Structure 1
């Protein structure tokens, strides 16, 4: 089959062996697969990712001396079943799945393991037990957004919102937009969003942000104060810390950038008791000053991925129209266009989510 292959630090298009479904697995045709920021990280920082996984005691499944087919944000079509499967879904059914593969060799992440090729190839093998049929005639390109939108839904779930908070989303790339969509679904308002890119600020409005600011000219933390301060609130009253007088609404800030320095800026801009949820994946060494977080009693929560239930919920929210990811899809390419798409995604004024359609 044809695939865009990560090989020796480069992306090349080549013929690779067709995957064979093992016990409990299903052979599928990749219909559409989104290019994720994590794929960009893997392309540019694969050795660092492998080293970091090993340092934290994880099992490295990426042998960088061999071929890897990226792609974990997919919608696919069932082609055939492997041994010992229930065959509950008809051949031709469109499906999504949490990108995890269970084999005799153990659990592997689809798109990040040599033995589990992802959606940048024409075919994949998935576990039957994890397949979710695409409901309500949801278009394929929207079904392929289930995975990235589930990341935003999970982040919002981990924020433990009560409903009376004022959320601030820093960064309006795919992750930030997914968080905004999830906050809108939870009806936690007003949603404040900040990004330097005019195009992404416009998308933030479309996805549900109520207040959108350019941090080059307007502080999102000042915008938070304006939105969170009740009538009669006196920022200069030292007794605020004791609960005397009107109090600010709870702040919940989402870091969706993933570059060094952002968390520290949030520490400096946050009000006392703010909850900070870190969704962006930073691949560099970062620096924070704990004094700010200690002095303000900030709560710092790091998040990753989603649960299978959250993934399934997100698929149904898309199918029911409760989440509309269509504004995020800015281009579609075949496998021959993947490498250029990796470059094009560096321009926030042109692209947010590029889908790979390997059958093109």
Structure 2
């Protein structure tokens, strides 16, 4: 086992730099793995400049305190890696050289710690990392490493749609077509749900939503996505619902996925969602927001707030990628080495045509 150092991208204060950090050494039940690919997540972008705020939100939510913002932080939780060696107490079921993915958790006396948001369990923007053997899933069917690294963000979409629980009569709307919104579209299509209405200000992201199978793609600067409801037998207002019920019309239900996470989005949906809609909040708004609850009461709206995924949903998403049910090329928009990671973070601050940039530390 190495006791030397390795290269990693560290967050030191509000900036990123490449530095030497202590090498990855596995403990009981753990393996050390070489990072092959790791996607940059929106939560990584937020943490560079707002890590202390993120820690405070975790504390207020009741999460364990596993992160010291004064220490260097190695982020990266959307990874594919190659097993190098096994720590004590492992069964070595996956031999050295096996490519794997894993839910990004490690376990300590404090409970689960999120790899990449812990100062004890470094993330995958590093040459090597420590992983829990019991959580490892082998990459299936020769799936490319950069595609396998999409399992984590795509699993977020799998979970959001599972919570939304749309049925065969549901009309789905996806607000925001960044990586998570696109992941929701993928999960909806895999369940055979349609029609799907997708909205985003970015032409590039609208184009990707269309490639993934969205039926109506809207630029909200020009057209309200909510204008489409009535055409799909979803009453857009209480008055319209009353008339439809009096006429005995067969109606459909609406499931809306909010994938933006900025102040004002929830109130906008309270104003514009059709009566009886189920709103699944996937976008992580980390600021105070204001809503008028009586609108939701009048319309009998239902809100669900979702986080991450279950282990089964993660495994299901990996299998779908391995079986070719998901086209990873629609998500992948760049691959960089450690020295280019800080610039990639800047680039994703104004994403333009980018969706998912993958860091490959071996480059």
TM-score (norm 2): 0.95
In structure 1, distance between residues paired with 2:79 and 2:350:
23
Contact kept in structure 1, 2:253 and 2:276, CA below 8 Å: yes
Q: Which runs of 5+ in 2 are unaligned?
A: 1-5
Judging changes above 3 Å, is the alpha-carbon distance between structure 1 residues 22 and 272 closer, same or farther for their aligned structure 2 residues?
same
Contact kept in structure 2, 1:200 and 1:348, CA below 8 Å: no
Q: SS where residue 166 of structure 1 aligns? A: strand
Contact kept in structure 2, 1:197 and 1:348, CA below 8 Å: no
In structure 2, distance between residues paired with 1:236 and 1:302:
28
Matched, 1:347 2:350: yes
2:267 corresponding residue in structure 1: 264
Contact kept in structure 2, 1:31 and 1:359, CA below 8 Å: yes
Q: SS where residue 229 of structure 2 aligns? A: helix
Q: SS where residue 345 of structure 1 aligns? A: helix
Deviation track 1:249-269 (CA, whole Å, cap 9, x = no partner) reads: 100000000111011111111
Structural mapping, 1:219-230, within 5 Å: 219-229=224-234
Judging changes above 3 Å, is the alpha-carbon distance between structure 1 residues 41 and 239 closer, same or farther for their aligned structure 2 residues?
same
Matched, 1:324 2:327: yes
Judging changes above 3 Å, is the alpha-carbon distance between structure 1 residues 234 and 83 closer, same or farther for their aligned structure 2 residues?
closer
Matched, 1:206 2:211: yes
Q: SS where residue 257 of structure 2 aligns? A: strand
Matched, 1:293 2:296: yes
Matched, 1:128 2:128: no
In structure 1, distance between residues paired with 2:121 and 2:58:
18
1:94 corresponding residue in structure 2: 99
In structure 1, distance between residues paired with 2:241 and 2:133:
60
Contact kept in structure 2, 1:169 and 1:180, CA below 8 Å: yes
Report how far residue 129 of structure 1 moved: 0.2
Q: SS where residue 349 of structure 2 aligns? A: coil
Q: SS where residue 355 of structure 1 aligns? A: strand
In structure 2, distance between residues paired with 1:315 and 1:210:
25
Report how far residue 327 of structure 1 moved: 1.1
2:308 corresponding residue in structure 1: 305
Q: SS where residue 118 of structure 1 aligns? A: coil
In structure 1, distance between residues paired with 2:246 and 2:48:
50
The runs of at least 4 consecutive aligned structure 1 residues that moved more than 3 Å come to 103-106, 233-244
Deviation track 1:65-118 (CA, whole Å, cap 9, x = no partner) reads: 111100000000000000010001111000000000013554211000011111
- Please give the root-mean-square deviation of Cα atoms over the aligned residues, in Å: 1.7
Matched, 1:176 2:170: no
Report how far residue 291 of structure 1 moved: 1.3
Q: SS where residue 33 of structure 2 aligns? A: strand
Q: SS where residue 261 of structure 2 aligns? A: coil
In structure 1, distance between residues paired with 2:353 and 2:241:
47
1:276 corresponding residue in structure 2: 279
Matched, 1:108 2:113: yes
Report how far residue 214 of structure 1 moved: 0.4
Judging changes above 3 Å, is the alpha-carbon distance between structure 1 residues 235 and 258 closer, same or farther for their aligned structure 2 residues?
closer
Q: Which runs of 5+ in 1 are unaligned?
A: none
1:66 corresponding residue in structure 2: 71
Contact kept in structure 2, 1:264 and 1:288, CA below 8 Å: yes
2:39 corresponding residue in structure 1: 34
Matched, 1:357 2:350: no
Contact kept in structure 2, 1:192 and 1:224, CA below 8 Å: no
Contact kept in structure 2, 1:27 and 1:82, CA below 8 Å: yes
2:160 corresponding residue in structure 1: 155
Structural mapping, 1:38-53, within 5 Å: 38-53=43-58
Q: SS where residue 285 of structure 1 aligns? A: coil
Report how far residue 244 of structure 1 moved: 4.7
Judging changes above 3 Å, is the alpha-carbon distance between structure 1 residues 241 and 18 closer, same or farther for their aligned structure 2 residues?
same
